[in-house]
Amino acid sequence: MKQKIFSGQKIICFNRKASFNYFFLEKIEAGITLKGSEVKSLRDGKGSIADSYAIDNNGELFLINSHIPLYRQSSYNNHNPKQERKLLLKRKEINKLIGRINQDGLTIIPTKLYFTKGKVKVEIAVAKGKKLYDKRQVKKTRDWNREKARLLSKNNK
């Protein structure tokens, strides 16, 4: 009998805007505290981290503006969809991240939300905001690569 190859990651959502708006300097995997109804809602594949970011509050990191919709079958103990969610990292990592965002003017952006071995994880990135001319350059290279692919495919036919 063949063994199934299982990577152990079920991706819930990506933050596509983040790679366009920021330069990523470092990526870190972090845990996140969730209630039962939030986990069940995420298992349905619902959730958004499009406009979210992380801040520090008394030496702890919290994810702000992440949206996890209400779970329909949950009754009175449902959660608030836009509440702050605590990120779970080691103390040394938290201190390092807080130092970088306070001194260097960087920000912490979630890039991906996924399940690993039944646990919800967040991939966060220490990021620096792009200027307008950087975004224009990204659009220009993307359009050129698309046009180049079209031309090559026409020549191959």
Domain with 43, as residue range(s), is 9-130
Token pair of 154 as six digits: 């026409």
Whether 148 is in a domain gets the answer: no
**Distance from CA of residue 148 to its chain's centroid?**
31
Q: Is 47 inside a domain boundary?
A: yes
* DSSP per-residue string spanning 36-47: HHHHHHHHTT--
Residue 155 belongs to a domain: no
Nearest-angstrom CA–CA distance, 152 and 150? 5
Count of structural domains, the chain:
1
Residue 93's pLDDT band (cuts 50, 70, 90): very high
Q: What is the pTM of this model?
A: 0.78
CATH number of the domain residue 71 falls in: 2.40.280.10
Q: In this structure, is residue 79 part of a structural domain?
A: yes
State yes or no: pLDDT of 133 exceeds 90: no
In the chain, what percentage of residues exceed pLDDT 70?
95
SS percent in the chain: helix, strand, coil, step 5:
35, 35, 30
Residue 19 lies in a domain: yes
| Closest to 97 measured CA to CA, from 130, 137, 53, 141 | 53
